[in-house]
Amino acid sequence: MEVLWKHRSFLIGLAGLGAAVAVTWIYVSRRKEKQMRKVGKISQLFLYPIKSCKGIPLQRAECREYGLKNGEFSDRHWLVVKEDKVHVTARQEPRMVLITVTCDRGQITLSAPGMEKLAVPLKLPTSNAIFTCKVHGNDVSGRDCGDEASQWITNFLKNVQTYRLVQFEDRMKRRNPKNEYPLYSENDRVAYPDLSPLLLVSEASLEDLNSKLENKVSIRNFRPNIVVSGCGAFAEDTWKEIQIGESVTLQRVMPCPRSVKIQTVCVFSFLESKDETKSKLPSYRLCDTEDKKVYKSSPLFGQFVRIKKKGMIKVGDPVYEIFY
């Protein structure tokens, strides 16, 4: 007891320090506690089985690390390539947007105006070749879907060169979009999407664009996966992180640089719209910050997001902005 009494000042100081550390820890923890504010709700969901072909509207989907999944379909897990295995999109072949894909009983079915339907097995024979394909200059694998699918797509697109259809399988190596844009990380991986596993757009942003156009455009022209209603125009530009429903968490990576050619193709009637859209979109959606060197003259519309927490999402789910 005498020793403790002699060192009472030291012990009191130590206790005080411990209390101060505890109070500081509680304060910091509370400051970092997640807070949420409702900013809208999901109004539409779309999944695109074949890159650049027609999207499928959904009521619900599983949000996985590589994008949306519904039944046997995963977003952008099929790809059209040229003979040199470089990917082909509606930028080069606008008629691709008229190809519809459905799935039933272990096979996908391709259909398009003036063409007989073609069924392709979901599970391809292991004897089918695996190609190393190029998507925006980066290597990604794909298993060949066979000669019938190749001939069907080549005939519909009326091209002199042969096109082939390939399928991505989950065990194949994914692309790293960091090779294209430094805003991505080493952990970001995608199959055949341009950059991110998901693209998010708000209805208000489309309405803002259409208010400047005589000939209105559809949300489908911008090929989003998730459409949000109930927010202001381009509010999605400011959401660093959002939660959908009870658990799914998404993080904004970068705005989507647009090819004006894609936006002027009518998805349903395959008519080229007037040059109005070509002039209006770039005129008010060009990057005017220090990131201009990244986006150059591309108009920006919609946000690429990464998936931080997986789960189910559905039309009508609330969307919350997360902040700390």
pLDDT in the model for residue 210: 87
- Does residue 11 form part of some domain? no
pLDDT in the model for residue 288: 55
pLDDT in the model for residue 137: 85
CA distance 219 to 202: 9
Q: Say whether pLDDT at 143 is over 60.
A: yes
Helix (H) or strand (E) holding 92: none
> Are 190 and 12 contacting, i.e. CB atoms less than 8 angstroms apart?
no
pLDDT in the model for residue 268: 41
| pLDDT single digits (tens) 299-309 | 778 999 999 99
Confidence of residue 105 (pLDDT cuts 50, 70, 90): confident
Q: What proportion of the chain, given as a percentage, has pLDDT over 90? A: 57
- Does residue 305 form part of some domain? yes
CA distance 166 to 178: 23
pTM for the full model? 0.82
Per the prediction, the chain carries an average pLDDT of 84
User: Which class for 106: exposed (0-12), middle (13-18), buried (19 or more C-beta within 10 A)?
Assistant: exposed
- Does residue 13 form part of some domain? no
Helix (H) or strand (E) holding 239: none
- Does residue 275 form part of some domain? yes
Q: What proportion of the chain, given as a percentage, has pLDDT over 70? A: 78
Residue 12 contacts by C-beta under 8 Å, 6 or more apart in sequence? none
Structural domain span for residue 46 = 35-323
Show the tokens assigned to 99: 């190809």
> Are 134 and 85 contacting, i.e. CB atoms less than 8 angstroms apart?
yes
* Mean pLDDT computed over 19-44: 73
CA distance 150 to 144: 9
Which of helix, strand or coil describes residue 242? strand
**CATH number of the domain where residue 220 is located:** 2.40.33.20
| pLDDT single digits (tens) 256-287 | 877 654 444 444 434 344 444 444 555 555 54
Q: Say whether pLDDT at 39 is over 60.
A: yes
Helix (H) or strand (E) holding 49: none
> Are 112 and 98 contacting, i.e. CB atoms less than 8 angstroms apart?
yes
Residue 306 contacts by C-beta under 8 Å, 6 or more apart in sequence? 188, 196, 197, 198, 250, 251, 253
- Does residue 154 form part of some domain? yes
| pLDDT single digits (tens) 198-230 | 999 999 999 988 888 777 888 998 899 999 999
CA 222 → CA 129, 154, 181, 200, 205, distances in Å?
Answer: 33, 25, 20, 10, 11
- Does residue 138 form part of some domain? yes
Query: 8 vs 307, which has greater pLDDT?
Result: 307
Helices (H) and strands (E) in the chain, counts: 7, 19
pLDDT in the model for residue 27: 52
pLDDT in the model for residue 58: 97
> Are 177 and 190 contacting, i.e. CB atoms less than 8 angstroms apart?
yes
> Hey, what long-range contacts does 7-10 have (CB within 8 A, 24 or more apart)?
none
- Does residue 267 form part of some domain? yes
| pLDDT single digits (tens) 222-249 | 899 999 999 999 999 999 999 999 999 9
* Mean pLDDT computed over 170-184: 85
- Nearest to residue 189, comparing CAs of 88, 64, 78? 64
Give me the count of residues in the chain: 324
Which of helix, strand or coil describes residue 321? strand
pLDDT in the model for residue 18: 57
Domains in the chain: how many in total? 1
Q: In sequence order, what E strands does the chain have?
A: 35-47, 56-58, 60-64, 67-70, 73-74, 78-81, 100-104, 107-111, 118-121, 130-135, 138-144, 164-167, 198-202, 226-229, 241-244, 248-257, 300-309, 311-314, 318-323
